[in-house]
Amino acid sequence: MELTWYGRTCVRLRGRDAVVVHDAYPSVVGPTGRGISADIATFSHPDDTPVARAKGRATRDGGTVLPSSLENAFVLDGPGEYEVKHVLLTGVRTYRDETKGASRGRNVAFVTELDGIHTIHLGDVGHVLTEETLADIGRVDVACVPIGGSLTANRAAELIAQLGPKIVVPMAVCEDETDCEEALAKFFHEMGGTAGPAQPKLSITPAGLPSETTAILLESRGKT
């Protein structure tokens, strides 16, 4: 499986059977998606900064415009268990704050089983998880976690400890690039290391998973 980060919470997973894109908002990848395409598109929460007069149809939540290059994708934006193109996905209800969405709204974390790898895309989650939620999530090999939003570096590290993944991909979600650098540095410190050179993408196999939890910094492919 190949994992690519497109900035903010936009991640693409490319497997043998299908391509899954998480949170491909027009404000991240452009009104036409800059060619980004997928068989399955998931949305963890409505877009906070939608592009004015963006082309494309609205998703079910009504707050997100689907880029035209993803109009043929199977769209998921709510909790539940799904099987699409031999890919198993589980949407789990979470929130963007520590008050069950009272201040920033709801969120959906998606677990995708692709090429034998279980990846959780946490969207813009803002809290650690309950035991019930962890049971719904199940096994995790790779975790994509937001950094620089309402989730502090310390809480993000606590969340990762709960999930116990082998690979962690931080997704910087702060508006200012300097703030993002500081937030990422704090997160890697909490994880017990430092951010090395950013990689363009990750190629992951079940046999190639590290023995201990490893955080890997990726380049944002969505930058102009």
Residue 31 has pLDDT above 90, yes or no: no
Reported as a single tens digit per residue, the pLDDT across 157-209 is 999 999 999 999 999 998 777 788 889 999 999 998 888 889 999 999 999 99
- Give the span between the Cα atoms of 10 and 26, in whole angstroms: 10
Beta strands in 57-174, from DSSP E residues, in sequence order: 74-76, 80-84, 87-95, 106-114, 117-121, 142-147, 167-172
- Point out the least confidently predicted range of 7-16, 29-38, 61-70: 29-38
User: Distance between terminal CA atoms of the chain?
Assistant: 26
Mean pLDDT of the chain: 89
pLDDT band at 35 (very low <50, low <70, confident <90, very high): low
What separation in angstroms does the CA of 53 have from each of 5, 32, 44, 140?
Answer: 25, 12, 22, 38
Q: What is the dihedral of CA 29, 31, 36, 37, to 10 degrees?
A: 140
Determine the average pLDDT of the residues in 67-91.
92
Residue 172, CB half-sphere, CA atoms under 13 Å: how many? 26
- Give the span between the Cα atoms of 149 and 168, in whole angstroms: 17
pLDDT at 56: 57
What separation in angstroms does the CA of 73 have from each of 157, 187, 223?
Answer: 33, 33, 23
For the whole model, what pTM was predicted? 0.92
Residue 207, CB half-sphere, CA atoms under 13 Å: how many? 0
pLDDT at 224: 45
Reported as a single tens digit per residue, the pLDDT across 93-124 is 999 999 999 999 999 999 999 999 999 999 99
Stronger pLDDT, 177 or 15, i.e. the higher one: 15
Stronger pLDDT, 178 or 45, i.e. the higher one: 45
Helix (H, G, I), strand (E, B) or coil at 161: helix
- Point out the least confidently predicted range of 31-45, 71-85, 105-119, 210-224: 31-45
Residue 76 has pLDDT above 60, yes or no: yes
Helix (H, G, I), strand (E, B) or coil at 25: coil
Domains and CATH numbers, the chain: 2-215 (3.60.15.10)
pLDDT at 47: 78
